[in-house]
Amino acid sequence: MSVGLRRVVLWSGVVTLCLWVLVPIYLIALGAFGGRAGVFRWPKSLLPWDATLASMQTFLAVEGVGRAAVNGALVAALTMLLSLALGAPAGYALARYAFRGANLFRLLVILTRAFPLAILALPLTVTFIRVGLYDTPLGVALVHTALALPFAALVSASLFMGIPRELEEAAWVFGCSRLQAFRKVVLPLALPGLAAAAIFAFVISWNEVFAASVLTVRNKTLTAYLLTVLAESPLHYRFAGGFLLILPSIVFIFAVRKYLFAMWGVSNK
Amino acid sequence: MERSRALPYLLIAPATIFLIALFVIPLVQTVVLAFVDDGAWSLTNFRKMVGDLNFGLSLRNTFLLVLVVVPLQVACALLMGVMLQKLDKGRDLVLWIWTIPLGVSDLAAGLVWLAIFQDRGYLNTLLAAFGVIDGPTNWLSYESPGSMFLAVALAEIWRATAIVLVILVAGLQLIPKEYGEAAEIFGASPWTRFRKITLPLLKPSIQSALILRTVLAFEVFAVVYALSGRNFPVLVGEAYAWQHVNQNNGVAAAYAILVMAISLAATLAYIRALRVNPETQP
Amino acid sequence: MAGIRIDGVEKKFGQATALARIDLDIPDGEFLALLGPSGCGKTTLLRIIAGLETATAGQVFIGDRNVTELQPRQRGIAMVFQNYAVFPHMTVFENVAFGLRMRGAEDAEVKAQVARAAELLHITPYLDRYPAKLSGGQRQRVAVARALAVRPSVLLMDEPLSNLDALLRLEMRTELKAVLAQSGATTIYVTHDQTEAMGLADRIAVMHKGVIEQIDRPQALYERPATRFVGGFLGSPPMNFLDLPVRAGVVELDGFRAAAPGTDRIIAGVRAEDVEIADSGLPFDVRVAEPLGAMLLLSGAVAGQTMRVAARPDMLISAGQRLYLRPDPARIVWIDPATERAVRAAA
Ligand SMILES: Nc1ncnc2c1ncn2[C@@H]1O[C@H](COP(=O)(O)OP(=O)(O)OP(=O)(O)O)[C@@H](O)[C@H]1O
Ligand SMILES: [Mg+2]
């Protein structure tokens, strides 16, 4: 094959795959903004003839949607904070110290990743009812933290490993305590990566549906809310909800794209 | 110096306690919930589970999905990864677009494909334009399990190939260019280079991608639910139904145990089958 | 005020011994150079003094204080790291100012000291830049400036000039010496460069496999190495070692004769420049002649053993020629072949 032909083949493959990702999103956007009329139009048009902001507004005004969206964001924010607060120190310990039990801890963390974790929400309903966490954002956030914590710990471990130990030692020599050295030297260098890990925890929580539906009745996250009302909602509401769920993820993935590869425990070093 | 010996333990203590409270204990509780009936050890819950009409169907459907979807995803992600390596410009943009589904929930993905597969959806519009069908046709009822399976599989492939892609691209970046170049100098064709160099060196990444993806695929639930309700039963969907509709924690827990056992078995199988000899890695 | 005393310090990494019982006493204000081959434990010793590494045994004193158990920041030291450890997220100015700020210095004081240190190391033009935009040598100078800026009473430097070109290194060396002499800091200076060590140091400690082989003034070290290793390590070309038989307190070889200690065999350590080329004496077959500018370096064999000789650069000598050598008996270092340590010549 000539070089030119090879490029054509390559690029048409790349473009096809891009369309494969983007077109379905475009189509649900059409559904979301098309309202009743759009859903029942036959045959369908690929151009946004029916699109109006009005249909999205009616969906947002439906009882419970606003509250669920707020709840979802609250749960995701709590998850983000908790998983980072618990995971980053553990990651630091894994990166900087060789200690007895480090491998055991690593195994525990990896094991949680290999289990269908959301299913553990079942017995937790009983416990949560007993301690008053059932049907609260904090309760859902706790389960989501169990999902996000392994990522937070492993990602921050690889981040901290990437920061030369000598930088920290130099700070000690020049008068910093351990905490000061961490704050002045390690943290600023790790911050972008930690932010990416935090955003990722947010996405994990925002998208999780099983535990969130099992553990709540009235205080549902947006994802869980949509799951419950799915059966009895008209199609254009479902599409509006689906589009609303996708929107943040596009932004999030854009924000963390530089750190994507550290996320899965296979860092590019 | 005494303090610094305790420091790592202080640092992992919160995470450890948390994981014990929200992972280890619920795990044990799930086992207890599944194996206890009326205060005594018994297999009643499992008998109920197996005796249910949907059990066989959901087991078959779940396995079928995993068997079809996961290999396709790995093949697809490999192709995409190799394509990315060949790109000289626009690589970042393409990578971003290809990884967008990473942030899409399975529920949202189900809804996206519902927009395509519904009676008056885009698929039917296309088919009608080519004269394959006359008017709106229902593809997602229990009378058409074939097309329903196709819709679910497509939605899963669309949503979750990105995870595999990210893991494989990270692995591909680790392979030094020199290996391929050396092979090229000795006359290896691109296909041979891919088979003899890239693939073996990528084995650890493929292994972790397969494990992660398979575990998640056995949890498939919301995609299916969004597309077809309970018309296409899957294991976790049944657990959800027993918990919510039938209000029976015991049988739900039995399903959970089953899913866990299958996931664990699959993980071990992958680790055995794709055993990586550390000495053959750079 | 702030001498350094090291008492039986030992360091093991698992089974491997990096330092084997080091004793060292450095008086206040001394400039000590630490010289030794790669991997002999220089960095490890420095890190133990700084408190970055815990010794397996032994104690470290700075001034009158036993600092063995203290954190690095409590030891009142400054250090230049072998790989610089310049903070990438701070400008050069902030890097140099770091130690001063940690000591709570006033802004005016910080500015003045940073300016002084930057001037000294010729990095004033880069003060606003981030380290990523600097060359290796520039980054290294930032690390040195950061250490000098705090006017430390104890200064530990791990190959601080290793990445500079020859000219700049010579210039920095001179200025460092002046500054440190004036400030009176007790300095330990690790280097691979013997000329640097000889030129800068009050005393040099030569390390080998985790042991300090000898510690002395530069000239004394050069003239009277205590071990075969020191003789061979110091000086360029290295000292020649001839393994010779001893009979009745005398070594005798062809046209050469000298009184020597030992009973059976002895090693004669002879510097290349302590040999005179004459009409008679030890026969020497020239194999290679290298004109090095300041001298003509001849390599060849004496009695089947390799020998290097420094001749005057204007001598016309070429490979294959036979010469006769007359080593200066007074300057020969006699070494016991069993212990490889120097022995006193019999009076
Ligand atoms: N953290 C460590 N773990 C295990 N061994 C180590 C460690 N640090 C140093 N060593 C070993 O201790 C010995 C001394 O190392 P050190 O860094 O002190 O050498 P050095 O004299 O500074 O060498 P160079 O001139 O190359 O910098 C070496 O054999 C090295 O391999
Ligand atoms: Mg060193």
> Searching chain C, which residue's CA lies closest to the CA of residue A180?
C102
| Pick among B107, B174, B281 to test the A interface (most A CBs inside 10 A) | B107
CA C236 from centre of chain: 13
Q: ipTM of this model? A: 0.85
Identify any residues that bridge with C19 across adjacent strands, giving them in sequence order: C11
Q: How far is the CA of A185 from the centre of ligand 2 (A)?
A: 23
State which of C10, C19, C40 you would mutate to test the pocket of ligand 1, scoring each by most atoms of that ligand within 8 A of its C-beta: C40
Average pLDDT, chain A: 85
Q: Does A176 touch chain C (CB under 8 A)?
A: yes
Q: Is C34 in the pocket of ligand 1 (CB under 6 A)?
A: no
Q: Does B225 touch chain A (CB under 8 A)?
A: yes
State which of C42, C52, C84, C159 you would mutate to test the pocket of ligand 1, scoring each by most atoms of that ligand within 8 A of its C-beta: C42
What is the reported pLDDT for B1? Answer: 44
> Searching chain C, which residue's CA lies closest to the CA of residue A170?
C85
Half-sphere exposure of B95 (CA within 13 A, CB side): 24
Model confidence, pTM? 0.81
Please give the share of chain A, as a percent, with pLDDT higher than 90.
32
Q: Is C83 in the pocket of ligand 1 (CB under 6 A)?
A: no
Q: Tens of pLDDT along A135-193?
A: 999 999 999 999 899 888 988 888 898 889 999 999 999 999 999 999 999 999 988 88
Nearby residues for ligand 2 (ion, Cβ within 5 Å) = C 43, 82
Distance CA B263, CA B278 (A): 25
What is the reported pLDDT for C31? Answer: 95
Pairing of strands C322-327, B36-37: unpaired
pLDDT per residue of chain C (347 residues) written in tens, 0 to 9: 689 999 999 999 989 999 999 999 999 999 999 999 999 999 999 999 999 999 999 999 999 899 999 999 999 999 999 989 999 999 999 999 999 999 999 999 999 999 999 999 999 999 999 998 899 889 999 999 999 999 999 999 999 998 888 898 888 888 888 888 888 899 999 998 888 999 899 999 999 999 999 999 999 999 999 999 999 999 888 999 999 888 888 888 877 888 888 778 899 999 999 999 988 888 999 999 999 888 999 999 988 889 999 999 888 888 889 999 999 988 999 999 999 999 875 44
With CB atoms and an 8 Å threshold, state whether A119 touches B100: no
Q: Tens of pLDDT along C199-252?
A: 899 999 999 999 999 999 999 999 999 999 999 999 888 999 999 888 888 888
Please give the share of chain B, as a percent, with pLDDT higher than 90.
21
Q: Is C204 in the pocket of ligand 1 (CB under 6 A)?
A: no
With CB atoms and an 8 Å threshold, state whether A173 touches C103: no
With CB atoms and an 8 Å threshold, state whether A230 touches B215: no
Q: Is the dihedral of CA B88, B94, B98, B103 positive or negative?
A: positive
Half-sphere exposure of C240 (CA within 13 A, CB side): 24
With CB atoms and an 8 Å threshold, state whether C78 touches A166: no
What is the reported pLDDT for B195? Answer: 85
Length of chain C: 347
Q: Does A164 touch chain C (CB under 8 A)?
A: yes
With CB atoms and an 8 Å threshold, state whether B15 touches A248: no
Q: Is C43 in the pocket of ligand 1 (CB under 6 A)?
A: yes
Q: Tens of pLDDT along A17-29?
A: 999 999 999 988 8
What is the reported pLDDT for C347? Answer: 41
Half-sphere exposure of C183 (CA within 13 A, CB side): 21
Q: Give A-chain residues touching B267 at CB under 8 angstroms.
A: 114
Residue B57 and residue B233 in contact, taking contact as beta carbons nearer than 8 Å? yes
Q: Tens of pLDDT along A228-238?
A: 887 778 888 88
With CB atoms and an 8 Å threshold, state whether A213 touches B100: no
Q: What is the CATH number of domain B49-280?
A: 1.10.3720.10
Q: Does C74 touch chain A (CB under 8 A)?
A: no
pLDDT per residue of chain B (282 residues) written in tens, 0 to 9: 445 688 999 999 999 999 999 999 998 988 888 898 877 888 888 998 898 888 999 999 999 999 999 999 999 999 999 898 888 888 888 988 998 898 888 889 998 998 888 877 788 888 887 877 777 778 777 778 888 899 999 999 999 898 889 888 888 887 877 787 788 788 788 888 888 888 888 888 888 888 888 888 888 888 888 888 778 889 988 888 888 788 888 888 899 889 888 888 888 888 788 776 666 666
Distance from CA of C86 to the nearest CA of A (A): 7
Q: How far is the CA of C43 from the centre of ligand 2 (A)?
A: 4
What is the reported pLDDT for A114? Answer: 64
Residues 182-211 of A with CB under 8 A from C: 185, 188-189
Cβ neighbours of residue A40 closer than 8 Å, sequence gap 6 or more: B120
Q: Give C-chain residues touching A177 at CB under 8 angstroms.
A: 71, 73
| Pick among A253, A254, A258 to test the B interface (most B CBs inside 10 A) | A253
Q: How many CB pairs under 8 A join A and B?
A: 282
Residue from the list A169, A174, A188 with its beta carbon closest to the beta carbon of C89 = A188
Q: Which two tokens stand for residue B278?
A: 């550390």
State which of C43, C79, C82, C158 you would mutate to test the pocket of ligand 1, scoring each by most atoms of that ligand within 8 A of its C-beta: C43
Residues 116-155 of C with CB under 8 A from A: 146, 150
Q: Which of B268, C5, B233, B218 is nearest to A119 (CA)?
A: B218
| DSSP string computed for B75-125 | HHHHHHHHHHHH--SSHHHHHHHHHGGGG--HHHHHHHHHHHHSTTSHHHH
Crossing angle of helices A187-207 and A137-161, in 10° steps, is 140
Distance CA C214, CA C58 (A): 20
- Please state the domain extents for chain B: 1-42, 49-280
Residue A225 and residue A64 in contact, taking contact as beta carbons nearer than 8 Å? yes
Pairing of strands C16-26, C4-13: antiparallel
Q: Is C210 in the pocket of ligand 1 (CB under 6 A)?
A: no
What is the reported pLDDT for C127? Answer: 96
**Gyration radius of chain C's alpha carbons:** 24
| Pick among A112, A119, A238 to test the B interface (most B CBs inside 10 A) | A119
What is the reported pLDDT for C230? Answer: 94
Q: Tens of pLDDT along C129-147?
A: 999 889 988 999 999 999 9
What is the reported pLDDT for A269? Answer: 32
Q: Tens of pLDDT along A96-127?
A: 988 888 889 988 887 787 666 767 787 888 88
Cβ neighbours of residue B94 closer than 8 Å, sequence gap 6 or more: A14, A18, B84, B87
- Catalogue all structural domains in chain A, each as residue range(s) with its CATH number: 1-52 (no CATH), 61-263 (1.10.3720.10)
With CB atoms and an 8 Å threshold, state whether A177 touches C71: yes
What is the reported pLDDT for A122? Answer: 77
Distance CA C342, CA A156 (A): 56
Pairing of strands C57-62, C65-66: antiparallel
Residue A122 and residue B239 in contact, taking contact as beta carbons nearer than 8 Å? yes
What is the reported pLDDT for A267? Answer: 39
Give the alpha-carbon dihedral of C279, C284, C289, C294, to 10 degrees: -60
Q: Is C40 in the pocket of ligand 1 (CB under 6 A)?
A: yes
Q: Give B-chain residues touching A153 at CB under 8 angstroms.
A: 15
Distance CA A154, CA A90 (A): 9
With CB atoms and an 8 Å threshold, state whether A112 touches B129: no
With CB atoms and an 8 Å threshold, state whether A166 touches C83: yes
> Searching chain C, which residue's CA lies closest to the CA of residue A165?
C85
Q: Give C-chain residues touching A189 at CB under 8 angstroms.
A: 88-89
Q: Is C18 in the pocket of ligand 1 (CB under 6 A)?
A: yes
Q: Is the pLDDT of residue A265 over 50?
A: no
